[in-house]
Amino acid sequence: MVEPDQAGPHPHAGGTIPRAVDAEGPADRDARRHFPARSRRAGDEPPGRRFRPHRRHHRRDEAAMTEPVTDHQMAEDAPPRLAGQNRLRLIGICFAAAFLTIAGQLTHLTIFPAQEEGPVRPITEAPLPRPDIVDRNGVLLATDVAVASIFADPSKIIDIDEAVEALTATMPDLNATELRRKLSTAKRFAWIKRQVSPEERDAVYNLGIPGVSYVNERRRVYPQGRLSSHVVGYVDLDTKGIAGVEKYLDDRGALYTASLAEPTEHRTEPAQLSLDIRVQAAVIDEVGKAIEKFHAIAGGGIVMDIRTGEVLSMVSLPDFNPNQENKNFSKDQQNRMTSGVYELGSVIKAVTFAMAIDSGKVTLKSVFDTRYPLVIGSARIHDFHPQNHPLTTEEVFCESSNIGTAKMALEVGLEEHQAFLRKVGLFDKLQTELPEAARPLLPKRWSKLVTATTAFGHGFAVQPLQGAAVVAGLLNGGHLITPTFLRRNEEEALAMATTVIGEATSETLRYLFRRNAEEGSASKADVIGYRVGGKTGTAEKVVAGRYDKNKRLSSFIGAFPMDNPKYLVMVMLDEPKAIPGTYGFATAGWNAVPTAANIIERIAPMLGVEPVFSAEDLQKLAKLEEKEKKKKQN
């Protein structure tokens, strides 16, 4: 039940319909024969010739008709011209029937291609280009480029062995056995290689192999590579969105299909995200350095505008390169910030303090006796750094006392505690534009012990982005705003916000955050001039159903400038280790906090936040400069 947390030895894309795909190109008659064209109108088909028999010789003498006539007599009596006309009529009917049968079959095959002949895509219909994806400053994150894909009509291959030899020589990465199998089928269509380079396309075309040609397609490319992979996501070979914003574009119906019979030029407007690729680069760099420095297995970071809910950066490491052909990514490359849930530890204490203060049952003058463990049934709750005197509300926050925080929650009440957690959305799945979203893991039963432990972030798990969004709502005046990866202004954000606490409570919480950065567990986050405030969290991980004291998740959520906060920064490190210089500690104050400080120092100038230096800040700067001079001299 121990929740260690102390640092240091001190204990739309909206737009018009896009342009149609030119799916044929110089693919010669093979591609055109393979893909069905538009059917003729019924009126265009030539009618069969009609034969009109002469009306002469059809009447017989009425008297003769009264006597029975044998077949032999009729044959003898029939005029020669009438017999010839009957034969011509029969022949004409046969020819007309044959013609109509063939014409009908051709029309059917044109309109309804045979399904058993493979994955044929009609050239008269193709997906339109996907909209470009850009960051908030217009930097290109995803776009389409023209490529070609090689296909074959196996029925037209004259010499399979010769074709296999020539194609594998031109494209060495092809598997000869697999290619021979494809060319030996009875199907009329088989892909040989998708999305080839222009050089490969020309080389294959110049081989002149009957039945082998290419069709023009589009390939999705990501100019920034892995820099924004978890947010932007990726598509499959057929440019269908699989993850991230790419899948969101598909799910919201932003893509269309059009006929190439009317090749009108169309282009969609880019989908503009809230991401700032400059901030993203800084976060991914600092989190990556921290993972390496503290020997963590993974890490993540978030930068959010707490007034609009816009996510300027979201990083999850390890990440992936969306441009790689084989996208069989490992589970370790998942987006931990939205698709994973974690116990965030003492970061959740911010929620408990907001609840207790807003209820009126706790003030900054309240005092809590934390000298002895809190006993509930057979459970005992301890502090990581126990104090030998009662603590004020401010001291409980800065010392990150589990005992004091648990007593606050119990004073508010079990039902009230559950109601507040539900009010701030921690009982529900946070859903943004990203489809990868996990549902919180909550206690099955609510009891006095559960209230006490969840008060300090022990026993329930949420998305890191969800935790960041809740804290943002507590610091921005009490307005809970759903995060977004698209552009949004403050007016739009306030219109959709839910008020969860009063402005006075939010102001008190900002004060506590700032005090914690000045002299509490988040002191290493105090970047001079930017008035940073924050809350640390260190939680033991659950391994095989039990808490493992040697495996921890450290996290930090801070904001700046704290007198009127604009930006929130979150850093999370999975299983960081103690290193020389941390005095044996691997808690958030020693790893996640300094990482966040490095991020703030880099991104604040990018975001236009001007530093404000107090007299005390100037003294600190002078000391730092003196320290740097001594280092250089040594």
CA 199 to chain centre: 33
- 3-state SS class at 90: helix
| Cβ atoms < 10 Å from Cβ of 258 | 18
Active site residue 213: no
Catalytic: which of 149, 229, 316, 346? 346
The SS3 of residue 316 is strand
Per DSSP, the three-state class of 392 is: strand
* Sequence-separated contacts (24+) of 105-112 with Cβ below 8 Å: 107/39, 107/40, 109/36, 110/36, 110/37, 110/38, 110/39, 111/36, 111/39
Contact 216, 21 (CB under 8 A): yes
Instruction: For residues 469 and 497, give the distance between their C-alpha atoms in angstroms, rounded to a whole number.
Output: 12
User: Helix, strand or coil for residue 30?
Assistant: helix
3-state secondary structure 473-484: HHHCCCEECCCE
Q: What are phi and psi of 272, to 5 degrees?
A: -95, 125
Supply the angle between the helices 464-475 and 349-359 in degrees, to the nearest 10. 30
The CA distance from 394 to 386, in Å, is: 15
Question: Could you give the C-alpha distances from 506 to 354, 395, 406, 561, 614, in angstroms and in order?
Answer: 7, 18, 20, 14, 24
The helix/strand/coil state of 545 is coil
Residue 510, CA distances (Å) to 350, 532, 588 in order: 10, 10, 20
Q: Are 130 and 232 in contact (CB under 8 A)?
A: no
For tokens 């009306």, name the residue: 55
In sequence order, the 6+-apart residues with CB closer than 8 A to the CB of 222 are 141, 142, 228, 229, 232, 234, 322, 323
Token readout for 486 is 């698209």
**Cis amide prior to 129 (ω within 30 degrees):** no
Q: Which residues are catalytic?
A: 346
